[in-house]
Amino acid sequence: MTLIEQLKTIVDPRGKRGQRHPLWLTLFVSLLGSLCGYEGYRPLAKFCLIHRQTILSLLDLDPTQVALPSYSTFRRVFQRVDAQAWVNVFNVWAIGHAPDLAGQLWSIDGKSIKCTSVGGNTSQQDFATLVSVYGVEAGVVQLDLMHNAQTSEVEVAKR
């Protein structure tokens, strides 16, 4: 199954009224933009403007029929989409393309997602962290989303 087919399985949390961009397209373009160093809502919108023709050509989409997302679309989608569903879809796709990884070296890292922080500097503080496990020899990544109030990066990495 392709990554686009996997992205199409994520439930769109947005209402149908006024929806101009399919969820899969917004997520796929955000992934492409992020891989090219465009991080954030406005940079992703700029990526869409700069590379519009290439993106539409790559996806075999009609430029007269398809608009690419704006920064406000990226913002609304990222605020509402189920992050765990996105991580799960990516993992299914990545594992489907992975060779046998037994006995190989792994690199593990966790990055907190700033906009998810709640509770300030108190014992109630919580934030989401994306933990990545990279198969060094195979070049394969698996992701997991965790909340620091519920578990630790070490426990997630062991899983």
Helix axes 41-50, 23-35, angle to 10 degrees: 90
Nearest 5°: CA angle at 111, between 110 and 115?
145
More confident residue, 43 or 149: 43
Burial class of residue 29 (count of CB atoms within 10 Å of its CB; 0-12, 13-18, 19+): buried
More confident residue, 125 or 59: 59
Q: pLDDT for 65-106, tens place per residue?
A: 989 999 999 998 988 888 888 888 887 887 777 666 667 777
| Strands laid side by side in the 140-147 sheet | 106-112, 128-135, 140-147
Strands (E) across the chain are located at 106-112, 128-135, 140-147
More confident residue, 86 or 156: 86
SS3 52: helix
- The type of residue at 29 is V
What confidence tier does 133 reach under pLDDT thresholds 50, 70, 90? Answer: confident
Average pLDDT taken over every residue of the chain: 81
Q: Is the pLDDT of residue 123 over 90?
A: no
- The type of residue at 23 is L
Residues in the chain: 159
Q: pLDDT for 32-64, tens place per residue?
A: 998 899 988 999 999 999 999 999 999 999 988
